[in-house]
Amino acid sequence: MKIHKQGHGIITIAFLLLGGLCTLFVMTIPWIWLWAILVLAAAVFFFLIVYFFRVPKRSINIQSDGVLSPADGKVVVIEEVEETEYFNDKRIQISVFMSPLNVHANYNPIGGKVSYFKYHPGKFLVAWHPKSSTENERTTMVVKDDKGREILFRQVAGAVARRIRWFQNEGDQVGQGEEMGFIRFGSRLDIYLPLDAKIEVELEQVVKAKQTVLGSF
């Protein structure tokens, strides 16, 4: 396991601030039991910050005709919707919600060429709100594989997530399971499959990035 580069600065600042607070507790609080509790609480908080930015070592379950989950989390939406930004037709939307305890690195569900990319500034509704896919801050990315099949997926910010990062742009050649972005502090990924795709997951199912197959062509 390693720590994601997006967390290096935050972890360093947290270490310095919490270390300073712990030193202050020890020097100014006369009751050992009280400063011990405060120091322990600071240590737990620091551990949670480090834990949030973890990136576990994990193999890629390559699927030439399958769509991998781009994120760790829970499937909260499987429904037929009208996709109006790129396809302008009906698609099956699968949404994966990431809690603050999930790994927050995001990965390509298929490999191919990035045929479309756009960043949308927006609101910060809770990630499970029905309008979050169209009104929240988000990115939209479409990858076309070597057979001409396209998958659209979105990073969607939530009420707590205030920082979306992406590491690829239109025209890039990308691999299935390669890292494509990161969202800080809880959010969701929306993936849009064609209507004839075979859905391989169920609502409330816990999925893992790079390994769980969401659907197949």
Q: Say if residues 103 and 54 touch (Cβ distance below 8 Å).
A: yes
Residue keyed to tokens 């405060």: 38
List all residues 6 or more positions away from 78 whose beta carbon is below 8 Å from its beta carbon.
92, 93, 94, 199, 201, 202, 203
Q: Which of 59, 95, 187, 216 is catalytic?
A: 187
How far is residue 107's CA from residue 153's CA, in Å, rounded to a whole number? 10
Q: How far apart are CA 138 and CA 8, in angstroms?
A: 23
Does the active-site annotation cover 95? no
Of the candidates 102, 93, 158, the one whose C-alpha atom is nearest the C-alpha of residue 126 is 158
The tokens for 69 are 């989950």
* Catalytic site positions: 187
